[in-house]
Structure 1
Amino acid sequence: MMFLFFYPFHVHAEEDIYDERMALFKKTEALTQIPWYYLAAIDNYERNMKNSDEPEQLISIEIMPEIWFGPGNSSLLKDIALIDTFNGKGKDGNGDGIADPGNEEDVLYTMAMILLEYGPSKDEIRIALWNHYNRDLTVQTIMNTSKVFQTFQGINLTDRDFPVAIKHNYSYRNTWGDRRGFGGNRIHEGTDIFASYGVPVHSTTYGVIEMMGWNLYGGWRVGIRDIFNIYHYYAHMSGFSDDIKVGQVVKPGDVIGSVGSTGYGPPGTSGKFPPHLHYGMYKDNGYSEWSFDPYPYLIKWERMAKDKS
């Protein structure tokens, strides 16, 4: 239960905050020609690096003081002319003559201008993100999230689904952290959902398919990176849906494959254990990625799926 704060159970009660964010993203797009969904994805990525116990901010992007104010600007002077003198990158987004890292419009405008140093195209933005964050997974996550936002033309994407079709018989319990022997002594990094061969496997969230294929331990498996900096791992499937591929945007309820018993051997190995779906979740905090217990979320999403059925 120690990781629950990383993936919120509750939707923000005020939808107004999403409208305010979108208005700022669209305004900054109009000023800079940087598509709004890239700015939204950067903001979303940084928000989900933080502890959700902190008060939710309208905009969560943070730019280091030495970058914002410039080397040598030890007094952190906010006048845009002085910041330019010190080769800082802070910009005035709201027209008041100062560049304030505590002002949402200034922050978004500054982030957009940092991207524009490289250009407005997708490839140029990718390069700008790498130079800003210096981390491949961060760039990949932001680009994936921007693709989701662009596809659905919104940022308030809070639907979820259970990973196994609930109209079929299935069973599961909390198996995260159990010992596993195949491949050496290790812990079970997920929850096993037992069901019959061929039961449809659903995407639980909005995201992008990042990985699919064979894995020695997981058999036929799919990995989906969602908009909350979470990697969702679906394993032991009997096969994939014909219409899915790496790089594809998915939404909750999309069928990505079916329950099987593949794995624990070379490609095609099957039947070494009863048919089930292994479902794992991995959190990225901007520095490292690790497994956490999906069981509490599965209980929540199962209830949501049954309420909708």
Structure 2
Amino acid sequence: MFFEPDDPDIRERMHAAFAGATIRLDCAPSHGATETWGHSGRTIGAPVTTSSENAWLRVLEAPVGKEGGKLWTGTQEAAATLPREIPRPRLLASADWVNEGYAYRAELSTYVTAPVCSPTPDLTQHIALPDAWWSRLQRATSTVAATPVPDNRPRVISQDYVHRTIPRYLGEAGVDTTVHHWTLAHGDLHWANLTSPELTILDWEGFGPAPHGFDAAHLYAYTLPVPELAARIRDTFADVLATREGRLAELTVAAILLQAADRDPIHARLAPQVRAHAQWLLKHHRDS
């Protein structure tokens, strides 16, 4: 989703860390593999091979003393918390080390062969997905929401953030922005984190408690450019989206994406549809 960092020092440091991770976790880079980068070059990932299988290796970096936190610990905590029936990569091994003022974490996971549904978080054209795919996605998100929250796992967003962001980006609409029901969520459910035709849900590092219905609301917002599939999401997740809790989750997601529109072109192109949907939600709230 992100480009290779412009800073040559970051590229050199992360490539060296990735090479070191292959030694620590006894794997080798796959020939001709394409690497992927996280925001500002803070992570790098690529396919590798082990003695028994193909795998995916991801390396995170942070200045010493600033490692830790939700995204740093998320993959390991998700592996320890979530039921095995949720379709996701399995964490095989990990390693931590420090070098020249930077802390590193390497995570080796099972390799997912199915392609992602979209190269970007939003869906820009129709894709054909079987009924079984939709059923499995609905079961997976319901299972996540029903899973007890791990002790001390940070929230995807804070209550204070909801209170501040909805009025700032949607206006003072007379909506009670207090979240009364927090449940476990993936936290970043969009089309670049879903594969097809075999469903796998990728990138669990940001999981945590969120307003109930957050994952369904998040995916719906990123599907607005394709009305037919957006309607399918509303039908599939009607049990949460058609509730007051689900409506607050949708307003929260709308505010998040409108805030992101100030920073990147993907969310900027999505913003008009998100804003229009938010206004529909607010009108529905006033009329109900």
TM-score by length of 1: 0.26
Which structure's residues are more often helix, by fraction? 2
Q: Give the alignment's TM-score, normalised by structure 2.
A: 0.27
